Amino acid sequence: MSIKQKLQSNQFYVNYSRMWPFVKPIWPIALLSLLICIPVGGLDAAIALFLKPYTDVVVVGKNMEAPWFIPILIVGFTTVQGLLNFGGTYLNAWVGGKLTMAVRRRLYEKLVDIEPAYFDKKTSGEILIRFNQDAQAACSGLLSNLKSFLTRICSSVALVGVLLYNSWQLSIVAIFILVVAVAPLTKVKKLIKSLVSKNNQCMYQVNTTYNETFAGNRTIAAYNLQERQKQNFNRLLDDVFNLVIAITRRTAWLSPFMHFVISIGLGLAIAYGSWLIVQGTITPGNFVSFLTALLMLYTPLKNISNVAVHVQQSFLAIERVFAILDRPDVLVEKEETKPLGAVLQGVKFENVSFSYTKGVEVLRNINLDVKVGEMIALVGNSGGGKSTLVSLIPRFYDVQKGSIKIDGVDIRDFSLHDLRQNIAVVFQDNFLFDGTIKENILLGKPDATDEEVAQALESACLADFIKTLDKGVETYIGERGILLSGGQKQRVAIARAFLKNAPIVILDEATSALDNKSEEIVQRAIDNLMKDKTVFVIAHRLSTVKNANRIAVINEGDLAELGTHEELMAIPNGLYRTLYNMQFSAPVSAD
Ligand SMILES: Nc1ncnc2c1ncn2[C@@H]1O[C@H](COP(=O)(O)OP(=O)(O)O)[C@@H](O)[C@H]1O
Ligand SMILES: [Mg+2]
């Protein structure tokens, strides 16, 4: 391995330089926050240095005159050191906070652009830690530990200066011992890396458990899952505890090891130093000053292993941050995208195949041409691939074979923004944001007028319900719209889509939670509003499907039948005909 390769493979080196863009806007203050460590650390040495004249003149020489100012100077230096320390801590928090903010912002920008498939495979806990907490560990955590580290190093350099000033012979012994004592610190990262990674996995799960307890609170109550939750949680806590203890076990020997090596150093220094005094090579003042400097140098070393562990944890967090930032975008946009103003012809699926996991095709060779002004209904058994098919249009996922075209242009040639601006989607289970009804509906068209909002509410069959509310459209609906009924939530989502007024409309079981009467009204509004649009509607109530211009039966990933209601009913033993007959001849058919 060449040196260059070595440097490149060294994560610390690579990441260290890559933090620069985040540091750049605040570099003078960042530099100052580190430079301030020099006087803070360096002033340690002054105290030790003054002890030489003090000992020689006062203790040995019994002379009170010369060094009267020494106690005052010591107090003075300590005061200055204290003030600098305050400044250092303040600057450190400021710079750490700014860096954390910048990194978090970049991570969040990445997060909102990530493709849905990413979220299919991650837990909410992992997202929370990797996009939020890691930024803190990587920046603020690193900086405050770096400050301790630098202060210690500056203090060490100054103290070594004091050692050398007093006796170079003793210094050689002391520095040799120092190097032996700190040598194992270089191994810390290797020792903790795998454990830190396991510990993170556990922390992801802990966070996920909190989220599930929040979002699933009713299921937990309804199925008496409290005991199960508690047991799972306790198991996680045990794992976390064991991992923290394991990290301690792997690193806690560092401190006593250093202590031991250092005691040898002190013993040697005292023995050798006494001999040097007797020989007359050094004065007693040199010896006292040397020993003080040595003690000041060695004492913090015993704790430096903790700092080293924290610094390495921060470096590991930086590695995780950059692993996310370096992650290539899966939904690639072309360098030069084609504009998509209005949809004039329609949406066409050409030989589309798709699989979520390699080798398991969920859609096979789908060909479907839907013209503007046409409403196509997708029907078929659950799990057949209907939702998957429509989720390919706004590029929640990209097709693996074939292509989807709008007006003859592959949808991957448009910018994601333009493409999605032209599509309105209503899902079966819609996400509503924490806020009011109006705020949620306006997401479809932020600059809509009150009349437009009222019209959308009317069309979505919500107007009567809104009238019963004290605050009307300004009514707060809670996180995820929890204060609304399933049908009301769905209608808010439909109103949002109506307001967006996009040329392509996707309704994936969008009216499944409505009662028959509302569904009929909403369906009529849909029929009216969808006149010049390209509409994909998935519904399992075949009565609503009958209005569609054409019906596509999706069966286990294949487009099995395609035609009008009458055409499909005419196929003997046809899938649609069977589905239809089953729904309408069933003795207790709720829908
Ligand atoms: N995000 C996903 N990751 C992996 N597999 C999925 C995902 N979503 C759906 N599937 C699978 O794809 C198949 C088709 O699902 P879907 O399109 O939701 O069917 P439908 O809407 O017709 O009921 C099912 O077998 C389902 O398990
Ligand atoms: Mg579905």
Question: What DSSP line would sit under 182-242, residue for residue?
Answer: HGGGGGHHHHHHHHHHHHHHHHHHHHHHHHHHHHTHHHHHHTT-HHHHHHHHHHHHHHHHH
Distance of alpha carbon 32 from the chain centroid: 30
Span 550-565, average pLDDT: 95
Span 482-492, average pLDDT: 87
Q: Which of 387, 507, 554, 575 gets mutated to test ligand 1 (max ligand atoms within 8 A of its CB)?
A: 387
Q: Where are the domains of the chain?
A: 3-325, 346-585
Across 54-68, 179-193, 301-315, 478-492, least confident range = 54-68
Q: What percent of the chain has pLDDT over 90?
A: 48
What per-residue confidence (pLDDT) applies to 51? 78
Q: What is the mean pLDDT of the chain?
A: 87
What per-residue confidence (pLDDT) applies to 66? 58
Distance CA 579, CA 501 (A): 32
Give the ligand with the smallest distance to the CA of 381. 1
Distance CA 236, CA 216 (A): 19
591 falls in which pLDDT band (50, 70, 90)? Answer: very low
One-character DSSP codes across 446-467? TT--HHHHHHHHHHTT-HHHHH
Q: 534-538 and 409-410 as β-strands: parallel, antiparallel, unpaired?
A: unpaired
What per-residue confidence (pLDDT) applies to 588? 45
252 falls in which pLDDT band (50, 70, 90)? Answer: confident
Helix (H) or strand (E) holding 343: none
Residue 7 has pLDDT above 50, yes or no: no
Distance of alpha carbon 45 from the chain centroid: 44
6 falls in which pLDDT band (50, 70, 90)? Answer: very low
Q: Contact 444/425 with Cβ under 8 angstroms? A: no
Give the ligand with the smallest distance to the CA of 392. 1
Over residues 172-200, the pLDDT tens digits come to 888 888 888 888 888 888 888 889 889 98
Give the distance (Å) from ligand 1 centre to CA of residue 420. Answer: 21
Looking from the CA of residue 381, the nearest atom of ligand 1 is 22
Nearest CA to ligand 1 atom 17: 385
Q: Which residues line ligand 1 (CB under 6 A)?
A: 120, 356, 362, 382-388
Distance of alpha carbon 283 from the chain centroid: 61
Cα angle 574-578-584, degrees, rounded to a multiple of 5: 145
Give the distance (Å) from ligand 2 centre to CA of residue 211. Answer: 25
Nearest CA to ligand 1 atom 9: 388
Residue with tokens 């045990």: 238
Looking from the CA of residue 391, the nearest atom of ligand 1 is 17
205 or 547: whose pLDDT is higher? Answer: 205
Distance CA 17, CA 23 (A): 10
**According to DSSP H, which parts of 280-356 are helical?**
284-298, 301-325
Nearest CA to ligand 1 atom 24: 383
528 or 348: whose pLDDT is higher? Answer: 348
Radius of gyration of the chain measured on its C-alpha atoms? 35
Helix (H, G, I), strand (E, B) or coil at 534: strand
Give the distance (Å) from ligand 2 centre to CA of residue 162. Answer: 76
Looking from the CA of residue 357, the nearest atom of ligand 1 is 4
| Stated length of the chain | 591
Nearest CA to ligand 1 atom 6: 356
What per-residue confidence (pLDDT) applies to 440? 94
What per-residue confidence (pLDDT) applies to 217? 93
Distance CA 296, CA 305 (A): 16
Give the ligand with the smallest distance to the CA of 362. 1
For residue 134, which of 150, 110, 114 has the smallest C-alpha distance? 110
Give the distance (Å) from ligand 1 centre to CA of residue 407. Answer: 28
Burial of 113 (0-12, 13-18, 19+ CB in 10 A): exposed
CB atoms within 10 A of CB 367: 12
What per-residue confidence (pLDDT) applies to 15? 58
Residue 587 has pLDDT above 80, yes or no: no
Span 460-474, average pLDDT: 90
Nearest CA to ligand 1 atom 26: 383
Give the distance (Å) from ligand 2 centre to CA of residue 188. Answer: 50
Give the ligand with the smallest distance to the CA of 120. 1
Helix (H) or strand (E) holding 376: strand 375-379
Looking from the CA of residue 385, the nearest atom of ligand 1 is 17
Give the distance (Å) from ligand 1 centre to CA of residue 166. Answer: 77
Looking from the CA of residue 117, the nearest atom of ligand 1 is 1
One-character DSSP codes across 231-274? HHHHHHHHHHHHHHHHHHHHHTTHHHHHHHHHHHHHHHHHHHHH
Give the distance (Å) from ligand 2 centre to CA of residue 546. Answer: 19
Give the distance (Å) from ligand 1 centre to CA of residue 459. Answer: 31
Domain 3-325 homologous superfamily, CATH:
ABC transporter type 1, transmembrane domain (1.20.1560.10)
User: What is the 3 state secondary structure string of 145-183?
Assistant: HHHHHHHHHHHHHHHHHHHHHHCHHHHHHHHHHHHHHHH
Give the distance (Å) from ligand 2 centre to CA of residue 468. Answer: 33
pTM: 0.82
Give the ligand with the smallest distance to the CA of 382. 1
Give the ligand with the smallest distance to the CA of 380. 1
Give the distance (Å) from ligand 2 centre to CA of residue 366. Answer: 17
Looking from the CA of residue 378, the nearest atom of ligand 1 is 22
Distance CA 536, CA 390 (A): 7
For residue 215, which of 122, 207, 490 has the smallest C-alpha distance? 207
Give the distance (Å) from ligand 2 centre to CA of residue 386. Answer: 6
Residue 141 has pLDDT above 60, yes or no: yes
Give the distance (Å) from ligand 1 centre to CA of residue 520. Answer: 28
Characterise 99 by phi-psi region: left (phi > 0), alpha (psi -120 to 50), beta (else).
Answer: alpha
Give the ligand with the smallest distance to the CA of 385. 1
Give the distance (Å) from ligand 1 centre to CA of residue 353. Answer: 14
CA atoms within 13 A on the CB side of 149: 16
Q: Contact 265/173 with Cβ under 8 angstroms? A: yes
Distance CA 355, CA 549 (A): 29
Looking from the CA of residue 380, the nearest atom of ligand 1 is 22
Residue 477 phi/psi, 5-degree rounding, is -115, 5
Residue 584 has pLDDT above 50, yes or no: yes
Nearest CA to ligand 1 atom 14: 385
Which two tokens mark 282?
């050094």
What per-residue confidence (pLDDT) applies to 404? 97
Give the ligand with the smallest distance to the CA of 508. 2
What per-residue confidence (pLDDT) applies to 65? 64
Nearest CA to ligand 1 atom 10: 356
Distance CA 559, CA 151 (A): 70
Distance CA 490, CA 503 (A): 20
Over residues 354-411, the pLDDT tens digits come to 999 998 999 999 999 999 999 999 999 999 999 999 999 999 999 999 999 999 999 9
Q: Which of 120, 388, 537 gets mutated to test ligand 1 (max ligand atoms within 8 A of its CB)?
A: 388
Residue 464 has pLDDT above 50, yes or no: yes
What per-residue confidence (pLDDT) applies to 213? 94
**According to DSSP H, which parts of 330-442 are helical?**
386-391, 416-421, 437-442
Span 515-538, average pLDDT: 83
165 falls in which pLDDT band (50, 70, 90)? Answer: confident
Distance CA 120, CA 123 (A): 8
Looking from the CA of residue 557, the nearest atom of ligand 1 is 14
Residue 482 has pLDDT above 90, yes or no: no
Over residues 296-332, the pLDDT tens digits come to 887 777 667 778 888 888 888 999 999 999 999 888 8
Residue with tokens 């979505």: 460
Residue 227 has pLDDT above 70, yes or no: yes
What per-residue confidence (pLDDT) applies to 590? 41
Span 65-73, average pLDDT: 70
Looking from the CA of residue 508, the nearest atom of ligand 1 is 21
Give the distance (Å) from ligand 2 centre to CA of residue 540. Answer: 10
Angle between helices 284-298 and 254-279 (to 10 degrees): 170
Residue 460 has pLDDT above 80, yes or no: yes
Give the distance (Å) from ligand 2 centre to CA of residue 547. Answer: 20
Q: Which of 330, 354, 362, 400 gets mutated to test ligand 1 (max ligand atoms within 8 A of its CB)?
A: 362
Q: What is the CATH number of domain 346-585?
A: 3.40.50.300
Helices and strands: H and E segment counts in the chain = 27, 10
Helix (H) or strand (E) holding 80: helix 69-113
Residue 50 has pLDDT above 50, yes or no: yes
Q: In 541-554, which positions are buried (b, 16+ CB within 10 angstroms) versus exposed (e)? A: bbebbeebebbbbb
Beta bridge partners, 338, equal: 414
Nearest CA to ligand 1 atom 5: 356
Residue 586 has pLDDT above 80, yes or no: no
